[in-house]
């Protein structure tokens, strides 16, 4: 699930429908969350293991023809996924509340970049994308059925009730596989990443559904890479480092923006300003000096997407907040750092990278895409067929 930890904010619109009024569990409901752990928890007789889906966390509320898609941020997804509204009406019970993940399969894998494109203010574009790149919903918990709230029941009972809602083969509403074997979960952890999944969720089977509490566990992949520090953005609180902009060299010899490192204590943010100050450069002399022009030519693409000409550069405007300034302070591309990351999304880090250490022993030119580990391919349909 991405706890679209990725879960990005999306703009509210005046067209959002009112939440369904007559269910025993009504929106907004903040979803139950998972805390990260380094190793797979061993089976203690109560645990359930599920794939960690890479999409938008969503709770579906259905009362007859009324359908409401609630997000983790408690703002509705309803207007962005009209194809799921119809799928819910066709494939789920008349009155139910189901927790799950909105995902977008492209071929045999999930495509988070394409899923992000679905959050768009223009109704005509939403409709066009719903037909061109239809999403699916993967269910993994049941909060209410008919007039009965199930939130106080232990997960083992909720899961059994959820399984009873699904035929052998699903359509656009799918049921996540689950296992009680930690050995099977470890195998899934290694193999499912090739279909675009990013880890394992571990759920105690004896616990109720607790909104907004980290009562589950998540195990995610962690790898390291050496990257070039190419600039920084200031923190919202003042002239200290908010995020470091990271780059890797491609086969074309150009330096591509691959993501950011941003999780620093405030004291460390101030120290970083002093550490990088000697490397401040003029934007016109920077490999990404043309970022503003390219971003302007790339309107409608993700904020940090590949710009015109095939070079990935930082975006000029956030796709989630048009008023947010994403300009940066350029640094000469001479500093190398080691970062930890969980997975790639195309040619960029899927999530914020974590600083590990400076690498004065590495040259910037040695920081290439070739060092990155790529998971073995795995077919998404084979996972959902379980």
Torsion over CA: 212, 218, 220, 222 (sign): positive
Is residue 310 within 8 A of residue 253, CB to CB? The reply is: no
Encoded tokens for 273: 């300003």
Relative to beta strand 105-106, strand 109-110 is antiparallel
With a CB cutoff of 8 Å and minimum separation 6, the contacts of 189 are 40, 199, 200, 219, 221
- Catalytic pick among 38, 52, 73, 267: 52
For residue 134, what are the CA distances in angstroms to 52, 85, 385? 20, 12, 19
Token code pair at residue 327: 């300009």
- 324 as an active site residue: the answer is no
Of 100, 19, 99, 30, whose CA–CA distance to 66 is shortest? 19
Q: What's the CA gap between 149 and 133, in Å, rounded? A: 34
What is d(CA 313, CA 258) in angstroms, rounded to the nearest whole number? 8
Q: Write the DSSP string, 278-316.
A: GGB--GGGSTTTTHHHHHHHTTTS-TTSB-TTS-B---S
Which residue, among 134, 327, 356, 123, has the nearest Cα to 261 in the 3D structure? 356
C-alpha–C-alpha distance, residues 351 and 258, integer Å: 10
| DSSP conformation letters of 355-371 | EEEE-TTS-GGG-BGGG
Provide the annotated active-site residues: 52
């Amino acid at each position: 699930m991405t706890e679209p930890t990725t879960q990005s904010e999306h703009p509210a619109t005046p067209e959002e429908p009112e939440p369904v009024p007559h269910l025993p569990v009504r929106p907004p409901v903040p979803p139950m969350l998972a805390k990260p752990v380094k190793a797979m928890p061993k089976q203690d007789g109560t645990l359930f293991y599920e794939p960690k889906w890479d999409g938008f966390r969503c709770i579906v509320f259905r009362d007859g023809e009324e359908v409401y898609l609630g997000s983790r941020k408690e703002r509705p997804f309803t207007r962005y996924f009209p194809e799921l509204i119809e799928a819910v009406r066709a494939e789920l019970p008349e009155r139910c509340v189901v927790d799950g993940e909105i995902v977008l399969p492209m071929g045999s894998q999930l495509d988070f970049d394409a899923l992000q494109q679905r959050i768009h203010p223009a109704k005509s574009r939403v409709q066009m994308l719903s037909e061109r790149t239809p999403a699916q919903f993967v269910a993994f918990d049941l909060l209410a059925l008919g007039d009965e709230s199930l939130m106080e029941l232990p997960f083992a009972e909720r899961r059994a009730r959820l399984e009873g809602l699904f035929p052998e083969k699903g359509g656009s509403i799918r049921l996540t596989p689950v296992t009680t074997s930690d050995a099977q979960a470890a195998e899934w952890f290694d193999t499912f990443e090739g279909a675009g999944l990013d880890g394992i969720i571990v759920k105690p089977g004896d616990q109720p559904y607790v909104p907004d509490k980290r009562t589950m566990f998540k195990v995610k992949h962690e790898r390291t890479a050496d990257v070039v520090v190419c600039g920084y953005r200031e923190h919202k609180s003042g002239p200290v480092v908010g995020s470091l902009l990271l780059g890797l060299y491609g086969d074309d010899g150009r330096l591509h923006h691959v993501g950011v490192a941003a999780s620093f204590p405030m004291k460390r943010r101030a120290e970083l300003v002093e550490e990088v100050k000697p490397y401040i450069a003029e934007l016109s002399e920077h490999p990404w000096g043309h970022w503003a022009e390219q971003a302007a030519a790339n309107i409608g693409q993700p904020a940090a997407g590949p710009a015109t000409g095939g070079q990935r550069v930082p975006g000029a405007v956030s796709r989630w907040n048009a008023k947010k300034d994403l300009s940066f302070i350029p640094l000469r591309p001479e500093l190398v750092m080691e970062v930890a990351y969980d997975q790639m999304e195309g040619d960029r880090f899927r999530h914020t990278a974590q600083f590990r250490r400076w690498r004065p022993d590495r040259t910037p030119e040695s920081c290439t895409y070739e060092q990155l580990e790529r998971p073995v391919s795995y077919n998404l349909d084979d996972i959902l067929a379980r």
